[in-house]
Amino acid sequence: MRWTPFRLKHSGSTKNWLARQFKDPFVRKRFEDPAHYRSRAAYKLLDIDSMYKILDKPDVRAVVDLGAAPGSWSQVAAAKVGTLGLSAGPERAAIDQVRVEKRVLRGEDFGLREDAKSAKAGKEAVTWSGGDIYDFDVDNDAAAADVQTNAGRDRGGKVVIALDRLRIPPIRGVYTLQMDFLGPDAAPTIASLLPDGKADVILSDMAANASGFYVRDSAMSLEICEAVYQFTERHLRTAREVGRDRAGVLVLKHFVHPVLTDFRKTFLEPNFRNVFFVKPEASRKDSTEAYWVCLGWKGVN
């Protein structure tokens, strides 16, 4: 008898998931794509960028990808912003990977699981991946800040930063930070990597682990949106600072629900010039997932 994957003893839900994956055109496209994206989610950001040109702008110097694991959005951002081919610069040519020993921030907020291997080692990682990979252990926070700041300058001010509590395998042209983006160490570390301490684009494709209960999942989505907005208040450059009406961009995943609509009206619409509701083609039709593309950050009124 000919073997097929479905002859293994899978549960009904697993069989349904496998069947959906085999039929999904974006899953097939990912495997054939020479860009080697880490997940099909890359095509959601590519679709958004094709509509609003949020990354293909000469004044976009810095992108922060929150909840980035496994890293497909950061791959897209690095290619669009142009950090893929950047070297470490003459002063730091041998330092393509930086690991900073710090305490591990624990917790289960947003349904994100801490990387067990890193937790056991008792470390958080800040990693630059340029060309070849070298390890450079930093003994103290002052030295770490010096390396990070110089590395950012050496790359001509073009920076892509990916953050997650889970470890993100190195991505060429991207700083990967394993930390809580609202934790006490996050703000100074991120600021040291960003030109003038500010980002031009903030991306969030985060979602809590689905429970199957619409009300609970919507509440968790609201919690994530509020946290990302809090981060945005601190780290997003305004349209006035850039000198372009639609500069200062936030792309924020959410799940459609009246409480999320209220969040949009209360926080996003007053503080951005434009807020667009987007359902990318790669977003599955049976999901309530959608995105707000927020353009022209005014700052907090």
Q: What is the pLDDT of residues 239-286, one digit of tens each?
A: 999 999 999 999 999 998 899 999 999 999 999 999 999 999 888 777
pLDDT in tens, 160-174: 999 999 999 999 899
Mean pLDDT of the 130-135 span:
34
Tell me the DSSP string of the chain.
----GGGS---HHHHHHHHHHHH-HHHHHHHH-TT--SSTTHHHHHHHHHHH-SSS-TT--EEEEET-TT-HHHHHHHHHHT-TT----STTTT---EEE--PPPP--GGGPPP-HHHHHHT---EEEE-SS---EEE-SHHHHHHHHHHHHHHTTT-EEEEEESS-----TTEEEEES-TTSTTHHHHHHHHSGGG-BSEEEE---PPP-S-HHHHHHHHHHHHHHHHHHHHHHBPPHHHHT-TT-SEEEEEEE--HHHHHHIIIIITTTEEEEEEE--TTS-TT--EEEEEEEEE----
Mean pLDDT of the 89-116 span:
30
Residue 213's pLDDT is 72
Q: Taking 50 as the threshold, does the pLDDT of residue 231 lie above it?
A: yes
Residue 187's pLDDT is 87
Question: What does pTM read for this prediction?
Answer: 0.74
> Which residue did the predictor score with more confidence, 131 or 55?
55
Mean pLDDT of the 204-222 span:
82
Query: Topology of domain 40-88+140-297, per CATH?
Result: Rossmann fold (3.40.50)
Mean pLDDT of the 118-133 span:
46
| Residue ranges per structural domain of the chain | 40-88+140-297
Q: Would you please indicate which residues are annotated as catalytic (active-site) residues? A: 253
